[in-house]
Amino acid sequence: MASRALLATAAFHLCAFSSLGVLPPVAAESIDDPRRTPTVRAIEQVKPAVVSIHAVHREAIYYRARRDPFFDLLAPPWFYGGQQDKVTAGSGFIVSDDGTILTNDHVVGKRPVRITVNLVDGRELEARYVGSDYYVDLAVLKVDASDLPVAPLGAPGDILVGERAIAIGNPFDLGVVVSAGIVSALDQDFGKPQGSYYYRDMIQTDATINPGNSGGPLVNALGQVIGINSFIYTDDNSNKGSIGIGFAIPIGAARRFLEEIAAHGKVRRPWHGVLGLRTVRERLARYLELPSTDGAYVDRVAVGSPAYEAGLGRGDVILEINDETVHSAEEAVGMLQRLRVGDSCSLELFSDGRSGTISFIMGDASDARSRRN
């Protein structure tokens, strides 16, 4: 009788839930839970290592002195100077458990007077600037902490067009935010600078990258960082939000940057000696009897520099750099700036009516300065 009563009670409650359109809660599946997709697991793996960064800068400001409007008709207005703090914010992620953080150079900016980092667990830590590479838009910060969560880095070159791409950021202390898409394209080059930076070999993704997400990781479905979110593309008719065209620095470039910092404590500035370049226009191409306007005309080369010693001179036209076609002077500058100290540089030239190739090893700018002094 008791068992019949229990069954009847259970049946009554089940019917009651069903009539309301609600079923009683059930235990979540531990192994085959359909909601715990690879994307969810990848986010859970990387999320604890994503940080919010605030860099405080001191900038000059000028105030107009208050005075009687009558005097403004007789003499120019008076101004006096002062200073104010300006804060730039963005994202970053921890790459070593002792507090090394990777982000964009434009997130940190020039000569910050104070940098703070907010972790997912709620801690706010003071960070110190370690080094940056202005040419590839990367920077390293360091916080004094241990046993921190780390975002695993993917292998250089192991990125597939069409694979899942997850953009993770921690902007404006809103907490970690996530957007997902795919890798749309690889090796995207920009002949002209985006802002102040020359970007080459970039990952293109349709995962939303909004202001404040710069410096955060772009992650694959395995939870490996494959890129560093850097900027979005907008045209003249677009607002500043994402329109589905975002770009990330590939992890291969980031690994080289981190290795340079680890080995030398800074990024050594490469020295090639090419001091002046001009884009080839149609009139110049006809005068030099060039087959097209591709290339960069050499205006100046530093005497004794690696390029000079290899035979580069004024009046030469650089057609290719390391087997990549040069379309403009700006593009050639961007290609040269991406090379590191010790890298080999091969230039295909058009000189005196014929083509030729020269090669040299990129030098160290600090060595060049010490020799001149």
Q: Which residues are part of the catalytic machinery? A: 106, 137, 214
Provide the token pair at 125. 């830590």
Q: Which of 204, 249, 247, 199 is nearest to 225 (CA)?
A: 249
Residue 64's SS3 state is: strand
Shortest CA distance to 112 belongs to which of 100, 122, 123, 103? Answer: 103
Contact 280, 317 (CB under 8 A): yes
Place of tokens 């030099």: 288
- DSSP string for 174-240: S--EEEEEEEEEEEE--SS-BTTB---SEEEE-S---TT-TTPEEE-TTS-EEEEEEEE---TTS-S
Please check whether residue 185 is in contact with residue 161, taking contact to mean a CB–CB distance below 8 angstroms.
yes
Instruction: Name the 3-class secondary structure at 323.
Output: coil
Judging by DSSP bridges, how do beta strands 124-133 and 79-96 pair with one another? Answer: unpaired
Annotate 325-354 with b (16+ C-beta within 10 A) or e (fewer): ebbbbbbbbbbbbbbbbeeebebbbbbeee
Both tokens assigned to 136: 């590839």
Residue whose tokens read 């902007």:
171
**At CB < 8 A and 24+ separation, what contacts does 171-176 make?**
171/52, 171/89, 171/90, 171/91, 171/210, 171/211, 171/212, 171/213, 172/52, 172/89, 172/212, 173/52, 173/118, 174/212, 175/120, 176/47, 176/50, 176/120
Rounded to whole angstroms, the Cα distance separating 6 from 79 reads 87
Residue 191 class from Cβ within 10 Å (0-12 exposed, 13-18 middle, 19+ buried)? middle
**363 by DSSP, 3-state: which?**
strand
